[in-house]
Structure 1
Amino acid sequence: MEEHSKVCSLFFIVLCFNKSYYLYLAFNNNLKRIDVSTELVVDVQPKEVSIALLDDKRLVELQKEARNISFSVGDIYLGRVKKLMPGLNAAFVDVGYEKDAFLHYLDLGSQFNSCEKFIKQSLSDRKRVLSISKFNMLPEIDKEGTVSETLKVGQEILVQISKEPISSKGPRLTAEISFAGRFLVLLPFSDKVSISQKIKSNEEKARLKQLIQSIKPKNFGVIVRTVAENKRVAELDNELKTLVKCWEDCLVKLQKAKTPSLIFEETGRTVGVLRDIFSPSFENIYVNDEDAYQQIYNYVSLIAPERKDIVKLYKGDLPIFDNFAITKQIKSSFGKTVSFKNGAYLIIEHTEALHVIDVNSGNRSKSTAGQESNALDVNLAAAEEIARQLRLRDMGGIIVIDYIDMMEPDNRQKLYDRMKELMAQDRARHNILPLSKFGLMQITRQRVRPALDINTSEDCPTCYGKGTIRPSILFTDRLEDKISYLVHKLKVKKFSLHVHPFIAAFINKGFFSLKWQWRCKYAFRFKLIPNQSLAFLEYKFYDGNNSEIDLKEEIEIK
C-alpha cells in the first residue's frame, strides 16, 4: 500500500512537471494568450513626470513630460494673428510661446465665422456670459477660400494646440475647438453626430446616434468614441454634461482674458493617457506621489467606480521604475542599437525628415532551412520589435525600414500582413505600404509631439571624461567622508544614499557590513538605496523630503 502511494506521488510529480514543461514550450513558441495584463507606472520627480505602460510586465509605451513646460496638445488659447502667409494660405498666431504658432486655412474649420462672431460678442460684453445654444449660426466658410480674406493681422482668435512644438517649429493650431472625454468628444459650433468607424454593429451605431441627438444641446456636435459601445444613456449623458461644463468655464475665463492667454488647460499627461487607453485589462496603476495619486484616483472613481482600487500609492524605498524593472528595459530599448532575438539587432537613426531602421541578423546561428527561411524568421521577429519601438519612442512622420532581402513573394506578403497585425494595436493613425522591390517598407505615423529620444550612454561620474580616476578601492572611503560631512557639518540626520546596485551589494556585504558600521558611527536614520539609473561609481544623497543634496562641491571646498 505504501509502495503504491509512493508510485502515485511520483506519477503526479512527473505529470505536473510535464504540464509545466509544455506550458513553458507554449510560452516560448509565442502562442497567443487570451488575456494581457496591463499596468501603468507613474514616476513623479521634481523636474519631470514619466509614465510607463506595461503589457505583461513588458514596456510598450513611455512618456516623459517636463513639469516646467505648460504647452500640451488640447490646450485652448486666446491668441492674436501676427502674420499672414498668402503663399502658404496660413497665418502665424501669437499664443505666448517663443515661436509663433502655425494655423493653416483648412484648420479654421467650416464654422469659423460663427465661432469668430461669438468670441467678438463675448469680448465686447464682459459682464454677460453668452449661451451658444441661443446663438444664430452663420454660413460655413468657403473650402476654397484664402486666409487673407478670412483673417486680419492683430485679430483675436480662439485656437487649440493640435501638435506640440517639434524641432525648430512652433506649435500647430486648429480653430476647431474640441473637448475630449472617455466616451465622447464635444465640438462647439457644430451640429453633427459622428460615430467611430471601429464600431461595427449598424444597430449599435443607430442606437448611439439617436441617443446622442436626443440629449445633446443645440449648436454642439459630438463624436462618439469606440469605448462608448454598449454604454448606458446615464453614463453618456453624465460625460456630455461634464464636457459642456468645460466649455462654459472657458467662456467665463475668456471674458477676463488678455491676449495671449491660456483659456483651457488639458488634463495632465497621466490622466490623458488613462482617458485614451483605460480598459478592463488594467490590473494596477502605481503612483509614487500623493497629489498625482489623488488626481488619478479621482479620475478612475469617476469613469469606473468599481475599478478605483487598482490605483495604488507606491511607498517603497527603491525608485519606482527600478522596482518594476522599467529602468533596465529603458536602458536596453533606447539608443542607436537595439537587440531583439538570437543576436539579431536593429539600428535606428533619426533625421529631420524621417526615421530609418535597419534590420541585421548579426551573429545569429543559421538554421539548415536556408537563407530565405532565416531572413523570414529574423524579419518577423524584427517586425514585432519595430512595432513596439514605434510606440515606445512615439516616432512619427515617415519611417523607412530596411528588412533583410527576401526573394519569395509569399514571404514578403507574410511580413507585410504581420506588420499590419502588430500595428493594429497602435493608437496613433498610421499607414503601411508593402515592401518595395528594394526590400524597404514605408510607414507614416501620426506625429503629435517630438519622438522620445533617451541617451542610454553614461558619462564617467568620477573622471568626467578625463580618463583617469582616483583608486576605486578608496570609493567607499570617499562616501564615508561625505556622510561624515553631511552629519557633522550640515547637521543632517535623516537622509538616503543612492548608489549603483553592485556598490550597494558590496556595502551591504557581511554580518557587520559597511552600512551598519556607518549607521552606528554617524546616523541610524540613514538608508542605502540601490538605483539602476546611476552609473557604476555615481552616487546621490537625498534628504528626508526626497530632495537631492549636492555634496560634490561642498566636499571640495572643505
Structure 2
Amino acid sequence: MSNEIVISSTQKGDRIALLQDKRLLEYHLDESESSFTVGDLYLGTVKKLSSGLNAAFVDVGHEKDGFLHYQDLGQHINSLNKLTKDVIAKRVNTGRLSGFDMEPDIEKIGKIDKVLTKGQPILVQVVKEPISTKGPRLSCDISIAGRYLVLVPFSNGVNLSKKITDRGERNRLLRLMSSIKPQNFGVIVRTVAQGKEVEELDSDLQNSIDKWDRAMQTLRDAKPRDRVLSEMNRASSILRDMLNESFDSITVDTQESFNQTREFIHTIAPEKEKIVKLFTGKTKMFEALGLEKQIKSLFGRSVSLPGGGYLIIEHTEALHVIDVNSGNKSNSEEDQEATAISVNREAAREIARQLRLRDMGGIIVIDFIDMKKADNKKMIFDIMREEMKGDRSKFTILPLTKFGLMQITRQRVRPEMNIVTREVCPTCGGTGTIQASVLITDVIEGNLDYILTKQNERGIQIVLHPFLHAYFTKGLLSKQRQWFLKYKTWVTLVKDSSLGITEFKFQNKSGDEIELAGTAVPAPMTSAPAQVDA
C-alpha cells in the first residue's frame, strides 16, 4: 500500500491531497487568510460568564466570542492564570517551570464564576475552529503537539497512546519519559514513538519546550486578541502526524514549497527527505494527476460504488444521513441477501473514505440495505471498524439496528469540507438560454489574432476546456499548426476540465492572465437565442 501527499500552492492558500494507492483519501484547503486554527494559543479577555451553561465567552478577535466550558478549563487553570499574570507583568522571563510554585487544582465539578472573572486576561487554546454561526471552541488545558510527544504544561504525568499495545514497549517508554521530562511538564507519548531511541524522543521534547518558551516570550508584549503561538500549517501538521514508512512520495508544485517541505522533512525524518519531489509539468498538477476529476466525482450528493450501487449523502444542521442503494447491482446476484451483502460491503468501505474526505463530524446515520442474518450485520459492522482504523479523528461506531441503521459519532474540530460539484452554466448564468455557443471558436481566434498582431505578444498560452483543446489540436494540419504558419509563433494550448465549455483564458509567457476586451460570444444571426438544458 502506497501513500502520497500532493500539495498545490495557490494565491488563496494550499490545496492538500492525501492519496492511498492513487485514490483520494483526504482533501484539505489551507487558506492563507484563515485564522483560528486548531492548536493556536491566544491571549483572550473574559467577556461574559454564563452560570446556566457553566461557561465563559472569551474575546479572541473573532466576530463571535469563543466558548470556554468549565470542563475545558483543565485542573491546572489557577497555575496557568498565575503564570500568565506574571509573564504579562514581566515578573517572569521564561516559560520553563522548574521551581514554579504550582497553585492548587480546581474541583472537577465546580462553578466557572469561582475561577474566572469578567474582564480577566486569559491564555486559551483553540480546540475547534469556528463552524457555521458559532465562534471557536476554547480550552485552557494547553498542549503542544510534537512528532512523537505531546507536551502538557503544569502536569506531571506520563500517558501513552492506547494504540501502543506491547507491554514491554509501554514500560520502556514510561520509564524513559519519566526520566527525561522536566519538572511541572506532563507528556503524552504518541503511537509513532514506538521503537524510537531516547535521542529522538528527547530532541522532540526539547523542540516542544522551546515552542512553549517562545510563546511565553511573545506573551510578554502581547495585547488582548493577539495570537501567542501559531500551529504549523495544515500540510506540515499532516506530515508531522502521518508520515511513516508507507509514504513514498510528497509532490509540490512551487520551488518555495519544495524548499520548505524538504527542510521540514529533514527536521522530523531525515531519511525520508528524498521522497519530496517538485512537479514541473506544463499543466496544473491536480489536473495532470487526475485529482480534479476525483474531487468533482467524490463530493457530489450521489457517489457511485464500483459494483454498480451508489450512495446518497444528505447534510442537515443536526446530522448527516447516508442512504445505500443497490442501483444496477440488484440483478447480478443470486438472491436479495447476497445483493445486500455485496453492496453493503462496498458501501462501508466508501463511507469510511467519505467521512475522512469530507471531514464529516457530529452524528452520521447510515441506512444500509436490509439484511436478515445477524452474522451479515456483524460483518458490515466489523468492516466499518476496520476501514476507520486509520482515521485520526475520534469516533464511535454502533452496530446495525434491527432497521438496518448504523450510527456513528465523529469528532468535528473544523468546518466540513464541501466542494460544489453542480456548476451554474458559465454561458447562460443559470437562466437556461444561451447565445450560439458554436461561435466560441471564432471568439478565441479573434482574440488570438488581436493579441498577436495588435499587442505583439509572444509565448502565449490558452487555457480551455478539453473539448475545445481537441478541436484546435486534432488532425495533421490542426488549427494550432495553422496558427503557427500564419503568425510564425507557437501557441500553447492547455486543457483544464474545471472550465466550462465556453470558458477560456489567455496567459502571457509569465503565466499572468491577459485581460481581453471582448470575450463574450457574439450574438447569433437569428433573432431568437438557442435553447439549451442548463
TM over 0.5: yes
With over 3 angstroms needed to count, the CA separation of the structure-2 counterparts of 1:335 and 1:130, relative to structure 1, is closer
Q: Is residue 510 of structure 1 aligned with residue 475 of structure 2?
A: yes
Q: Is residue 474 of structure 1 aligned with residue 428 of structure 2?
A: no
With over 3 angstroms needed to count, the CA separation of the structure-2 counterparts of 1:491 and 1:129, relative to structure 1, is farther
Higher deviation after alignment, 548-557 or 460-469: 548-557
With over 3 angstroms needed to count, the CA separation of the structure-2 counterparts of 1:325 and 1:407, relative to structure 1, is same
Q: 2:15 aligns with which of 31, 50, 53?
A: 50
> How far, CA to CA, are the matches of 1:82 and 1:153 in structure 2?
6
Q: Is contact 1:487–1:523 with CA below 8 Å preserved after alignment? A: no
The letter for the 1-side match of 2:40 is: D
Q: 1:247 aligns with which of 204, 212, 218?
A: 212
1:43-84 Cα distance to aligned partner (Å, 9 max, x none): 111123211111111111111122211221111111111111
> How far, CA to CA, are the matches of 2:218 and 2:425 in structure 1?
51
1:24 matched residue in structure 2? none
The letter for the 2-side match of 1:319 is: K
Q: Is contact 2:440–2:521 with CA below 8 Å preserved after alignment? A: no
Q: Is contact 1:126–1:256 with CA below 8 Å preserved after alignment? A: no
Q: 2:394 aligns with which of 429, 447, 456?
A: 429
Q: Is residue 346 of structure 1 aligned with residue 315 of structure 2?
A: no
1:449 matched residue in structure 2? 414
Alignment of 1:17-28 (within 5 A): none
Q: Give the deviation of 1:509 after TM superposition.
A: 1.3
Alignment of 1:389-468 (within 5 A): 389-468=354-433
> How far, CA to CA, are the matches of 1:88 and 1:113 in structure 2?
21
The letter for the 2-side match of 1:442 is: Q
> How far, CA to CA, are the matches of 1:45 and 1:546 in structure 2?
13
1:293 matched residue in structure 2? 258
The sequence identity of aligned pairs, in percent, is 50
Higher deviation after alignment, 504-513 or 79-88: 504-513
> How far, CA to CA, are the matches of 2:488 and 2:23 in structure 1?
39
Higher deviation after alignment, 531-540 or 150-159: 531-540
With over 3 angstroms needed to count, the CA separation of the structure-2 counterparts of 1:265 and 1:547, relative to structure 1, is farther
2:56 matched residue in structure 1? 91
Q: Give the deviation of 1:393 after TM superposition.
A: 0.6
With over 3 angstroms needed to count, the CA separation of the structure-2 counterparts of 1:523 and 1:94, relative to structure 1, is farther
Q: Give the deviation of 1:254 after TM superposition.
A: 0.6
Higher deviation after alignment, 381-390 or 453-462: 453-462
The letter for the 2-side match of 1:448 is: V
Q: Is residue 217 of structure 1 aligned with residue 182 of structure 2?
A: yes
> How far, CA to CA, are the matches of 1:170 and 1:544 in structure 2?
45
> How far, CA to CA, are the matches of 1:464 and 1:325 in structure 2?
27
With over 3 angstroms needed to count, the CA separation of the structure-2 counterparts of 1:519 and 1:193, relative to structure 1, is farther
- Runs of 5+ unmatched residues, structure 1: 1-35
Q: Give the deviation of 1:519 after TM superposition.
A: 4.3
Q: Is contact 1:400–1:440 with CA below 8 Å preserved after alignment? A: yes
1:8 matched residue in structure 2? none
Q: Is residue 359 of structure 1 aligned with residue 328 of structure 2?
A: no
Q: Is residue 40 of structure 1 aligned with residue 14 of structure 2?
A: no
Q: Aligned residues, how many?
A: 522
With over 3 angstroms needed to count, the CA separation of the structure-2 counterparts of 1:368 and 1:258, relative to structure 1, is closer
SS of equivalent to 1:143: coil
The letter for the 2-side match of 1:67 is: S
Q: 2:172 aligns with which of 197, 207, 212?
A: 207
Q: Is residue 151 of structure 1 aligned with residue 116 of structure 2?
A: yes
Q: Is residue 284 of structure 1 aligned with residue 243 of structure 2?
A: no
2:494 matched residue in structure 1? 529
> How far, CA to CA, are the matches of 1:548 and 1:76 in structure 2?
39
- Runs of 5+ unmatched residues, structure 2: 523-534
Alignment of 1:114-125 (within 5 A): 114-125=79-90
Q: Is contact 2:465–2:504 with CA below 8 Å preserved after alignment? A: yes
The letter for the 2-side match of 1:223 is: I
> How far, CA to CA, are the matches of 1:43 and 1:325 in structure 2?
13
The letter for the 1-side match of 2:324 is: V
Q: Give the deviation of 1:541 after TM superposition.
A: 3.0
Q: Give the deviation of 1:122 after TM superposition.
A: 0.7
1:29 matched residue in structure 2? none
> How far, CA to CA, are the matches of 1:521 and 1:48 in structure 2?
40
1:164 matched residue in structure 2? 129
The letter for the 2-side match of 1:266 is: E
1:495-535 Cα distance to aligned partner (Å, 9 max, x none): 33211122112211123322233345558364211112222
Could you say what the CA RMSD is over the residues aligned between the two structures, in angstroms?
A: 1.9
The letter for the 1-side match of 2:368 is: Y
Q: Is residue 497 of structure 1 aligned with residue 452 of structure 2?
A: no
The letter for the 1-side match of 2:506 is: F
2:528 matched residue in structure 1? none
Alignment of 1:55-134 (within 5 A): 55-125=20-90, 128-129=93-94, 131-134=96-99
Q: Give the deviation of 1:365 after TM superposition.
A: 4.3
> How far, CA to CA, are the matches of 1:166 and 1:301 in structure 2?
35
1:241-281 Cα distance to aligned partner (Å, 9 max, x none): 11111011111111111111011111111001111111111
